[in-house]
Structure 1
Amino acid sequence: MAMPTLQNAIDQAGSPIKLLWQPDAEPWTPEVVDREYSGWRQEQAAWHEGVALLNLSHHMYDMWIEGPDATKVLADHGTNNFEKFAIGQAKQYVPVTREGHIVTDGILAREGENKYLLSGIPAAQHWVQYHAEKGGYDVEFVTDPSSAFRPGGGDPKLFRYQIQGPLAAELVERVFGGPLPETKFFHSTAVSLDGRPIRALRHGMAGQAGYEFIGPWEHAAYVHETFLKAGEPLGLVQVGALAYATPSVESGWIPSPVPGIYTDPDLADYRTYLPMFGIEGKRPLNGSYFSEDIEDFYVSPYELGYGKVIHFGHDFVGRDALQKAKEKPLRTKVTLLLDQDDVRTVLGQGEDPGFVLSYARHRVESATGLVGMTMQSASIDPVGAVLAQTLIDADHAAPGTEVTVVWGEHPGSGTDPEADLGFPRIRATVHPAPFNQHARTLYRRNR
């Protein structure tokens, strides 16, 4: 019996929106990892003021791509520059559809001349593997789903531990007996911990410099314990699933945008290739911004800030559309700082609302009407501060612009998208994305 597909699910629901729209959907947080260790406020403070350890081992889907055509299939279906891609380097891989809509991004690491590792939520991996198989590329794939979806359970193939914060370098020196070799941002170096092979990826979050340590799962417990023990004198804090989901709001990265794959007739075969219960059919949409047309949720890589990684020096799917998109008025990525008094009133019934995390698409309005939509909102200490990564019309994107966020859950099909449903309004002020001053300046120089 054939497995049900994404196209089956869309047909049964009646439309992509009817399939995906789920009011009050629970926000995603990493599975398996504890929700909190010392409390989300202390954990957020650690990567700003001390040193934090984040466990990324369980929630990313890994796909190794190896073979003579590995570079070709990735370059043919991604916007990135593969002429300048060193072994040991990682890039934000950005595949788009023929229409120039992002499929989703992923972290692509080059492990050898003809070998790559693509990590993240599996939408980009599905896209690459489908086109490789359909196009007859000479490549092979090895996949390792996230721990929540690994068939039969079991351990990941790799551990991933991030060490972040102002004291990260000091902790790394304690663990390895000295500083690691000078490494550019998003490049990696091979290191060893008591004979155990590890790759140290120069990485950071929310503006702070740090490393992501990656290695075979058999060494995970030893490496984890070594970092915890060496970090005790520095006040090392483990970061739980709640706080882990928030630094993207500060650093300006918008996670898992809606893949632009649901409507193009030429992608019907792709939708039939995808399983009904994959990420493309299960990642819910909700919030006060509603449209019956899924294309209103599609985004351009330019809107997400990926213009700098689009390389027109090679041919790739979506190239012509992206060249045209450069001339069009597009939304701008900004950070909204929600008014703290309104946050307390609307979200906390007059009190500190505690931890807030939402991937809802909330309407952003000005006196003239709809001007944008939120993409992710989260509490960022100090108390009562909520930031929202937002796509907004360019004429409202200047820092200091005052707008209003409509906070509520549209019921979906059958109710006018423009209906006044009595949702509360939260005043907000436009700030740059990334919000963090360090992330916008110093952090990005060493590229």
Structure 2
Amino acid sequence: MPTPSLQDGINQAGSPINLLWQPDAEPWTPEVVEREYAGWRQEQAAWHDGVALLNLSHHMYDMWIEGPDATRVLADHGVNNFEKFAIGQAKQYVPVTRHGHIVTDGILAREGENKYLLSGIPAAQHWVQYHAAKGGYDVGFATDASSAFRPGGGTPRLFRYQIQGPLAAELVEKTFGVPLPETKFFHSAPVTLDGRTFHALRHGMAGQAGFEFIGPWEHAAYVHEAFLKAGEPLGLIQVGALAYTTPSVESGWIPSPVPAIYSDPDLLEYRKYLPLFGIEGKRPLNGSYFSADIEDYYVSPFELGYGKLIHFGHDFVGRDALLKAKNGPLRNKVTLVLNPDDVRTVIGGGEDPGFVLSYARHRVENGSVLVGVTMQSASIDPVGTVLAQTLIDAEHAVPGTEVTVVWGEHPGLGTGPEADLGFPRIRATVQPSPFNEHARTLYRREH
């Protein structure tokens, strides 16, 4: 029996929304790592006030792209500037459809003249691999799935450990015995620890100082233990799966936007190529915002804050559409600071709700008028409330603007999108995105 495709799933469900809409869907958290080590509150505090260790080894897909046409296939299907892309540098890779909507993003590292590593959720990898085969590019691929989906189990090819927080540089120097080489943001340098060679990528997740160490899995346990030992006198805290999901809410990165691939007739063959039981068929939609039209969930890279990454100096899929959209009416990315009293009342039933994590699309209203939609919401203990990364109409994006978030789960088809379902409202205040000041200033300038 053939493996069902994404298009098979859409056909059987009757529409993309029927396939994806799942009220009360459990939010994703990383696989394999413990949910909490010291407690999510202490773990969040560690990257604000001390130093934190995050294990990124298990939940991302890696795809190596190598061959004479490696740069060409990536440039033809991504908005990025490949004329300025040094070996050892990483970029946020942004592929878009012909209509200028994002497929999803990923982290692309250049490992050689004709070799790249694309990491993240596999939607961008699927897009590149499909178009490489369809376009006859001279390029090969090697893929390592996440630990939850690796065929036959086994171990990852790479370890990834991130060190971040105000004491990150001190911990790294204690571990290696010397300061790391001066490295630009999102560039990597080779490092050696007791004869074991791997790479250090200058990186941070919540606007704090940080490094990401990447190397062969055979060195994983040794490197991990070395960080723990060196970090003990500094109060190093390991970050579990719950807290791991939250730095993006502070740093302004919106994870897993809906891939804009479900409705274009020209992408029918692509939907037949994709497996139903993959990220495109199984990442659920839910929340108080509902539309029967999947295109209402598509987003522009401009809305996600990726405008500076778009290099119009080369031809790529979606270029003409992005040129038209550049000066058009687009939503702004903001951070909503939810009223802590309302959070306790609505989410906690009058008590502290504890850890809150939601990828639901919740309605954001001014009065009773829809003005935006949340993309990810999470408790940020150092802030004392829930923050929500949100796309909102430009006229309501001014910091200090008061809005309300409709907190609930629309049942889906059969009930009108604007139906009054009696959902409670949470007052919220618009603030910039990224919310973290360092991420908004120094971090962004370095990038």
Alpha-carbon distance in 2 for matches of 1:264, 1:22: 23
Amino acid in the other structure paired with 2:77: H
Kept in 2, the 8 Å contact 1:343–1:384? The answer is no
Q: Secondary structure at the match of 2:7?
A: helix
- 2:348 aligns with 348
Kept in 2, the 8 Å contact 1:122–1:279? The answer is yes
Amino acid in the other structure paired with 1:185: F
Residues 1:329 and 2:363 aligned together: no
- 2:395 aligns with 395
Pairwise CA distance, 1:216: 0.2
| Residues 235-270 of structure 1 deviation map (CA, whole Å, 9 limit, x = unaligned) | 000000000000000000000000000000000000
Alpha-carbon distance in 2 for matches of 1:362, 1:444: 28
- 1:274 aligns with 274
Residues 1:151 and 2:122 aligned together: no
Moved over 6 A (4+): none
Pairing 1:103-252 to 2, within 5 Å after superposition: 103-252=103-252
Q: Secondary structure at the match of 1:129?
A: helix
Alpha-carbon distance in 1 for matches of 2:199, 2:407: 43
Pairwise CA distance, 1:382: 3.7
Structure 1, unpaired ranges of 5+: none
- 1:307 aligns with 307
Pairwise CA distance, 1:197: 1.1
Kept in 1, the 8 Å contact 2:57–2:161? The answer is yes
- 1:95 aligns with 95
Pairwise CA distance, 1:135: 0.5
Residues 1:34 and 2:34 aligned together: yes
Kept in 2, the 8 Å contact 1:98–1:317? The answer is yes
- 1:376 aligns with 376
Residues 1:440 and 2:444 aligned together: no
Pairwise CA distance, 1:383: 7.3
Kept in 2, the 8 Å contact 1:81–1:309? The answer is yes
Q: Secondary structure at the match of 1:348?
A: coil
| Residues 330-388 of structure 1 deviation map (CA, whole Å, 9 limit, x = unaligned) | 00000000000000000111111100000000000002600000000000014750000
- 1:49 aligns with 49
Pairwise CA distance, 1:2: 2.2
Kept in 1, the 8 Å contact 2:44–2:382? The answer is no
| Residues 62-94 of structure 1 deviation map (CA, whole Å, 9 limit, x = unaligned) | 000000000000000000000000000000000
Alpha-carbon distance in 2 for matches of 1:411, 1:367: 23
| Residues 198-247 of structure 1 deviation map (CA, whole Å, 9 limit, x = unaligned) | 10000012110110000000000000000000000000000000000000
Q: Secondary structure at the match of 2:33?
A: coil
- 2:364 aligns with 364
Distance change in 2, residues 1:94/1:73 (3 Å): same
Alpha-carbon distance in 1 for matches of 2:286, 2:139: 38
Pairing 1:256-295 to 2, within 5 Å after superposition: 256-295=256-295
Pairwise CA distance, 1:443: 2.2
Kept in 2, the 8 Å contact 1:353–1:384? The answer is no
Amino acid in the other structure paired with 1:217: W
Alpha-carbon distance in 1 for matches of 2:324, 2:82: 22
Kept in 1, the 8 Å contact 2:246–2:380? The answer is yes
Alpha-carbon distance in 2 for matches of 1:15, 1:114: 40
Alpha-carbon distance in 2 for matches of 1:443, 1:106: 19
Amino acid in the other structure paired with 1:276: L
Q: Secondary structure at the match of 1:205?
A: coil
Amino acid in the other structure paired with 2:423: F
Distance change in 2, residues 1:38/1:446 (3 Å): same
RMSD over equivalenced CA pairs, Å:
0.7
TM-score by length of structure 2 reads 0.99
Kept in 2, the 8 Å contact 1:352–1:383? The answer is no
TM-score by length of structure 1 reads 0.99
Amino acid in the other structure paired with 1:439: A
Kept in 2, the 8 Å contact 1:352–1:384? The answer is no
- 1:253 aligns with 253
